Amino acid sequence: CKKLSSATVPNLKIFWDLSRAKFGSGPEPDSGFFVAVVVDGEMTLLVGDATKEAYTRTRAQNPGSRGSQTLVLRKEHVLGNRVYNTKARFGGKLRDISIDCRVNEDARLCLSVDNKRVLQIKRLKWKFRGNERIEVDGVWIGVSWDVYSWLFDKDGNNGRPAVFIFKFENQGSETMEDPFKEGVVLGQQSPCSDGIEWKKKRRSLLRSARSSSSSSISMSSASSGCSSSVMEWESVEESELCAPMGFSLLVYAWRN
């Protein structure tokens, strides 16, 4: 078990143990590991499935019932030519998400989950920025995209990335009885009275995805609305401050 202390924040300590970690096909370990952040002797953040070992090694206090543990946000950078792949756990299983974005004369955007197409946006040059709400196996997902830089930037393939946001809405099954068994990144979520602060924190993280390019109105045939910003759908949460937040996957897609 390794330990890292902060000189500027003496009450914060980071512990990790990857000595028995097992890996799959990706760079992230699948099991047999933990990474823990302890603040004032209390477990604030825990990654991995070696939960008991983490508490034993860190001697940290369990936050207990003062707040549930839930996945809030994950950010990824992916690299490719046309098809970009990532993963997310929802509906009780780990799923493959594929982003197929064509920027030629027949520009279009296709999203697939487990090799099944769930969304297609045609005439992408007119709809380079927008959002949709889709359902996959009973889970509602807000999908937002901004591919302006791929279509109109003069820098070509080495310009800015496209941005995709997947907001997985209010899944009771994702607030797990044993929140660490899935090996996901978790943090302590405050009760409803602190919901506003949590949402402000998440929006501040998501603002990094804003594009500096000019805005446009984007609509598609199956859309429940239109948006001039990939972030606009976040405002829907203001009316649901006491409801479970769900979690968001923020993907920066870079072209080779």
Which of these, 148, 150, 154, 155, lies nearest to 210 by C-alpha position? Answer: 148
Q: What is the pLDDT of residues 142-152, one digit of tens each?
A: 999 999 988 88
Q: Which of 138, 192, 193, 134 is nearest to 167 (CA)?
A: 134
Residue bearing the bigger pLDDT, 34 or 180? 34
- Confidence class for position 200, pLDDT limits 50, 70, 90: low
Q: Which of 131-135, 173-177, 190-194 has the highest mean pLDDT?
A: 131-135
- pLDDT, residue 69, reads 61
When the pLDDT of each residue in the chain is averaged and rounded to a whole number, the result is 73
Q: Tell me, what's the pLDDT at 192?
A: 42
Q: Which residue has the higher pLDDT, 199 or 219?
A: 199
211-225 core/surface letters (b: 16 or more CB in 10 A; e: else): beeeeeebebeeeee
Q: Which residue ranges does the chain devote to CATH 2.40.128.180?
A: 70-255
Cα(100)–Cα(82) distance, rounded to whole angstroms? Answer: 6
Q: Which among 84-93, 156-165, 166-175 has the top mean pLDDT?
A: 84-93
Sheet holding 116-121, edge to edge: 83-90, 93-102, 108-113, 116-121
The pLDDT, as a whole number, for residue 91 is 86
* Spatial separation of the C-alpha atoms in residues 69 and 187, rounded to whole Å: 6
pLDDT at residue 254 greater than cutoff 70: yes
| pLDDT for residue 119 | 95
Looking at 46-50, 99-103, 225-229, which range is the least confident one?
225-229
Distance between CA 127 and CA 48 in Å, rounded? 39
- Bigger pLDDT: 110 vs 41: 110
**pLDDT above 60 for 252:** yes
- Number of residues that make up the chain: 256
Assess whether pLDDT exceeds 70 at residue 41. Answer: yes
Q: Which two tokens stand for residue 109?
A: 């955007």
At 189, the pLDDT band (50, 70, 90 cuts) reads very low
Report residue 215 CA to chain centroid gap.
24
Gap between the Cα atoms of 156 and 29, Å rounded: 35
Q: Residue 3: pLDDT above 60?
A: yes
Give, in words, the CATH class of 70-255. Answer: mainly beta
H-helix or E-strand containing 151? Answer: helix 148-152
Q: Report pLDDT digits (tens) over 94-107.
A: 899 999 998 888 89
Summarize the confidence of residues 56-76 as an average pLDDT.
Answer: 77
Residues in Cβ contact with 156 at an 8 Å cutoff, skipping those fewer than 6 apart = none
* H/E run at residue 199: helix 195-206
Give the Cα-Cα-Cα angle 119, 125, 126 (nearest 5 degrees): 85
If you average pLDDT over each of 6-10, 191-195, 231-235, which comes out highest?
6-10
- pLDDT for residue 175: 38
Say yes or no to pLDDT of 191 above 70. Answer: no
- Whether the pTM exceeds 0.75: the reply is no
pLDDT of residue 44: 85
23/100: higher pLDDT: 100
Separation in Å, CA 45 to CA 39, 86, 122: 9, 23, 41
